[in-house]
């Protein structure tokens, strides 16, 4: 038997280093689904390396393109959505009218059509402007597929994000702004230090859903010559004629990325959740 003082030291160490029941209950159980999907992918790679390992190797660069488009588009969406949301509550009728027109038009056009406009129509407009005004740099303008895809997704989702930001700001009591102004803050300072921090905590779940939607809808960029995961999967299938194996692996990879993103969003939501 251990001496009493050794027992106390051991118990203190165990209590400090081992997770307690309450802490274990806080672990998101949906991480289990992430592990199941990951285990299924590993099982396919190990049990049938041909063709699943070949599919993974072939689509690896497409995975990185998908993540790049998703992350950059999400950041731009947040920035544009912030300005759009502020424009939607602006007392300036011109700013309010322009932003409102942008939101209504963009929300009424499918994302796929917008991507096609940005990749095919926008460069044609630039080229025609170059010919008309004799600007050599514009005459032979060629669009970068990844850049056009990022712009298209960002512009589209910023319209939805603008409404989310507007709703978050308007959900706060009017007394918040009045209290900040009574402390000597300007309207801009009150919005920056009082209103927006509270609003973003309120709309964090909606922002997380938008991020996940961008990840899934990034598959649409494959139609505008972007070599993302979906396009690489289609290229592999067209050369090997293995539709079942190809799209099974592509679907699992998308599912894995989406589930991990959802868990990260859930962690951020809990960290930023306002105490009631």
Question: What's the chain's length in residues?
Answer: 276
How many Cα atoms are found within 13 Å in the side-chain-facing hemisphere of 194?
20
The pTM of this model reads: 0.85
- The whole-number pLDDT of residue 26 equals 64
Q: What are the CA-CA distances from residue 235 to residues 107, 231, 262, 273 (Å)?
A: 31, 6, 29, 44
Query: Per-domain residue ranges for the chain?
Result: 61-272
Q: What is the dihedral of CA 77, 96, 165, 180, to 10 degrees?
A: 130
Closest to 143 in 3D by CA, of 164, 120, 162 = 120
Query: Which CATH number fits the domain 61-272, given the four candidates 2.60.40.1930, 3.30.300.130, 1.10.3720.10, 1.10.150.130?
Result: 1.10.3720.10
Q: Are 102 and 159 in contact (CB under 8 A)?
A: yes
CA distance 18 to 34: 24
Give, in order, the Cα–Cα distances in Å from 40 to each of 72, 202, 246: 29, 36, 15
Res 276: pLDDT: 47
- Per-residue pLDDT at 182: 84
Residues of the chain with pLDDT under 70: 1-27, 274-276
The 3-state secondary structure of 199-210, one letter per residue = HHHHHHHHHHHH
Per-residue pLDDT, 156: 96
The H-assigned helical ranges of 30-92 are: 31-47, 49-88
pLDDT at residue number 135 = 84
CB atoms within 10 A of CB 169: 22
> What would the pLDDT profile of 24-40 be if each residue is shown by its tens digit?
456 678 889 999 999 99
Q: Which two tokens stand for residue 243?
A: 């539709």
Instruction: Return the pLDDT at 183.
Output: 83
């Amino acid at each position: 038997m251990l001496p009493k003082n050794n027992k106390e030291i051991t118990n203190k160490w165990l209590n400090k280093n081992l997770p307690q029941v309450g802490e274990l209950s806080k672990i998101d159980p949906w991480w289990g689904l992430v592990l199941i999907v990951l285990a299924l992918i590993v099982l396919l790679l190990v049990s049938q390396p041909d063709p699943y390992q070949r599919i993974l190797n072939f689509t690896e660069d497409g995975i990185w393109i998908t993540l790049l488009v998703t992350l950059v588009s999400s950041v731009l969406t947040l920035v544009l959505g912030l300005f759009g949301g502020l424009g939607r509550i602006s007392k300036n009728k011109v700013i309010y009218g322009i932003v409102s027109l942008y939101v209504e038009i963009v929300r009424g056009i499918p994302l796929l059509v917008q991507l096609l406009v940005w990749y095919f129509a926008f460069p044609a407009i630039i080229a025609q402007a170059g010919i008309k005004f004799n600007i050599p740099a514009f005459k032979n303008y060629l669009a970068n597929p990844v850049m056009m895809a990022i712009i298209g997704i960002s512009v589209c989702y910023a319209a939805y994000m603008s409404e989310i930001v507007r709703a978050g700001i308007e959900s706060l009591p009017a007394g918040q702004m009045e209290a900040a102004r009574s402390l000597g803050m300007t309207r801009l300072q009150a919005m920056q230090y009082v209103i927006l921090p509270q609003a973003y905590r309120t709309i964090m779940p909606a922002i997380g859903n938008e991020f996940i939607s961008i990840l899934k809808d990034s598959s649409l960029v494959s139609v505008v010559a972007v070599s993302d995961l979906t396009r690489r999967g289609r290229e592999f299938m067209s050369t090997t004629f293995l539709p079942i194996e190809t799209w099974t692996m592509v679907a699992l990879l998308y599912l894995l990325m989406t589930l991990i993103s959802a868990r990260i969003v859930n962690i951020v939501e809990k960290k930023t959740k306002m105490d009631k």
